Every structure is written in C-alpha cells, then in structure tokens.
Chains A and B, each alone.
Chain A
C-alpha cells in the first residue's frame, strides 16, 4: 500500500511530503534531457547544476514558469521520476495533493492533475499555495481572526487573508524571484555590457540583493562575457545598482500586498495590526523585503520559521487529515 503524498510543485523547487514520514524530497524543479533522443539525463539538483553549462545536445529546463506547466510532457516525466524516487511504482498508487498558485486557470489545473495521474497517482487533488502556506506556517486559521500570508515563490507572489479555514481575500501576481534574477541579468547587460547566466544572476541576488537598504552592504564582483569583444570580463556591482535593477519587480509585489489588504473586511483588517502578516517562500528571503512591505503598509511583517517548507508542510497536514480536510481542495465545496 502506497503512502499518500503532498507535492509542492514550485517553479524553482519541488518538495514532497510523505504521509507519516515528513519531507522526503527537496530538489530544484529542473530536468536535463538529451535533445536528440529525448532521454532524461538528470533531474533535480544534478540537472540544476547543468543549467547554462551544457553541450549542444543536452538541454536543462524548468518545465514550470509562473507556477504553471509550460511543457506538459516534460512535467509529467519529471513528476513520474520524482514519484519513483520516493517509492511509487506501478503497483503502489498513492493519493496525491499538489500545491498550485491560486491564480491558475482551469486548463492549467487539469494539466497538473492529469500529469500527476499519468505519472502514477491514484487520485490527484489541488490546494492553493497560500492556504497550504498558512497551515504550514502554523497560523491560527481555525479561529475567526484575520491571518495574512504572503507567499513569494519563483514565479508567483500571492497574498491571502484567511479566517476559519477559508480564503477571505486573495491577490496574486505572476511575478517572483525568477523575475528578480531576470531583472539583474538585464541590468548588467544594459549598463555594464556583459552577459551573465541565470545562475550568476541568482548568486548576485543572494549575495548583495535587497529590497531596502540594509546594514553591512557589500559590493560584488561579477564575471560574464563582454558583449562587444566576446571576451570574459569582470565588473563591480553595488547593492544600490541591484536595488535599482529589481525595483519594478519589488514594487509589483508590494503593490499586490496593498491590494489584498484593501480587499480585506474591516473586522479582519484590524487583526493584522496586532498579529502582523507572515512572509513565506524563497522570494521572501530577499534582504529588506519584509522591512519594505512593513514600511509601505504600516503593518508588521514576520518571517515564517519554515519559509521554504511551509507550503509542503501545509499540504502534508492535509494529507495526514485527508477526510476532514478534503473540503479545502480547489473546486471542492467551501
């Protein structure tokens, strides 16, 4: 008998929670394929290390963008391999709960559930990421009080107000930490005339990226290819430059939080001033982001203790209490 699974199928990382066991897999959502034969060469961390460093016949891709499947066939193969790695076989077909962005379309929902079923799941249900994040971040969503969660992922940023186990207000934008990386890539290309890869941009973000000025800021040496000469070149990048480069993305995230706050009923709004908002997701780890949101909304912002795992832990809790919580699935009765 297969153990049921909860999957956080993120644009950047995929996490799997197994019923009764906990988190059993945490890997980048990347798959490396032989371009000529279509054969899978690597998945997860191994494939992630290949991004931008492959010979012509290998392609390392992220099959999800903005939280949605961009390549159905590759996603299905990736899910199938992930399920195999956690022990799912032809004879052990588990029930699966998958976390998805709340803003996905009906077609995208069907693509995810179909991919999971074809990959070996006996039954596949979906749960909104902010709801799963609120459960995983241990917010008291069983009480009639306003709980606000901001989930900033690789491809989407979602803010939700949750009370009594249901979403009261929601705001989602298809902007996330990958857009921050892309903004850094574009800035370095435009202002310094050098081309850098996706991974280098991500390293710059982690090293000196910030949404608001922070103490102990350092400059970073950036190596790339000079667009004029084609030769390797090193430039110095300052934190101010990175803040300027990513300003549009950060503003867009903050604006969506403000829109969600303005949608909340007044009775719940007053709770936020006391209880604060909770930040989860890898994008929420950007330095100064909590302070920036707090400054612009005048509402306290707290970081979850488990920002990267909150979503899968929440979905895992749903798997542990499947019968009692199946009403929380997308499309189920609220």
Chain B
C-alpha cells in the first residue's frame, strides 16, 4: 500500500469522524422531547414514593433535639 493510499484512507476516516461528531452535536428534536419526558416521569409521584420511603434519621436522634433547627 502506497503512502498516498494510506493518507487518503486517514483523510476519509477523519472526515467521517468529523461528520458523525457534528451530527451528534446538532442533536435531534426528538432527543430533547425524550429527555424532557424522562425528567417529568422521574418527578412523578410513583417515582418519588420509593425515595420518600427511604427517609430515616442517621442515628435515631434529630438535630432538632439539640435546638439547632435551622437548615
């Protein structure tokens, strides 16, 4: 394989990579819609229930007992 052919392949690969990256950066409108939909779904009461159920104090004492009740 001559250096000329190798050079041409490198240039072609670089161009292909450039176009792929550019296309990804531009994004697709449906990506934004999906992302927004996922965010709203993750904020739904069903999704939050599990987090609420995990609420427990660290060692059985709240700081309120000490009077330090500001946050």
Chain B positions within 8 Å of A178 at CB level: 70
Assembled-state Cα–Cα distance A164/B50 (Å): 20
Please state if A12 and B42 are interface contacts (CB–CB under 8 Å). no
Give the number of residues in B that approach A within 8 Å (Cβ atoms): 29
Which residue of B is nearest A156, CB measured?
B71
Q: Are A324 and B42 in contact (CB under 8 A)?
A: yes
The answer to whether B52 has its CB under 8 Å from any CB of chain A is yes
Within 8 A of A (CB), among B26-54: 35, 38-45, 47-48, 50-52, 54
By a CB distance below 8 angstroms, the chain A residues around B45 are: 138, 140, 142
* Residue of A whose beta carbon sits closest to that of B43: A142
Chain B hits for A321, CB < 8 A: 42, 47
Counted as pairs of residues, one from A and one from B, with CB atoms less than 8 Å apart, the total is: 122
Q: When the two chains form their complex, are residues A13 and B68 in contact, meaning their CB atoms are under 8 A apart?
A: yes
Q: Which residues of B contact A164 (CB under 8 A)?
A: 40
Prevailing SS type, chain A contact patch:
mixed
Report if A324-B48 is in contact (Cβ < 8 Å); known contacts: A23-B55, A153-B71: no
Q: Which of A1-46 contact B (CB under 8 A)?
A: 8, 10-13, 15-17, 20-28, 45
Does B62 interact with chain A (Cβ within 8 Å)? yes
Report the minimum CB–CB distance from B68 to chain A (whole Å): 5
Q: Contacts A26-B57, A135-B43, A164-B40; is A308 near B68 (CB within 8 Å)?
A: no
Assess the A28–B50 pair: CB atoms within 8 A: no
Cβ-defined contact, B58 with A10, below 8 A: no
A239 within 8 A of partner (CB): no
Q: Which of A70-78, A104-112, A247-255, A279-287 contacts B (4 or more CB under 8 A)?
A: A279-287
Q: CA separation between A151 and B47, bound complex, in Å?
A: 23
Q: Which B residues touch A140, using CB under 8 A?
A: 45
Known: A45-B66, A203-B67. 10 other contacts (CB 8 A): A11-B70, A12-B71, A16-B58, A142-B40, A151-B71, A165-B40, A282-B71, A313-B55, A321-B47, A324-B41
* 15 contacts across the A-B interface (CB closer than 8 A): A13-B70, A22-B56, A23-B54, A28-B66, A49-B66, A135-B43, A202-B67, A282-B71, A283-B69, A308-B64, A308-B69, A317-B42, A320-B50, A324-B39, A328-B39
| Interface set of A (CB-CB < 8 Å, partner B) | 8, 10-13, 15-17, 20-28, 45, 48-49, 135, 138, 140-142, 151-155, 164-165, 176-178, 199, 202-203, 206, 281-283, 285, 306, 308-309, 311, 313, 316-317, 320-321, 323-325, 327-328
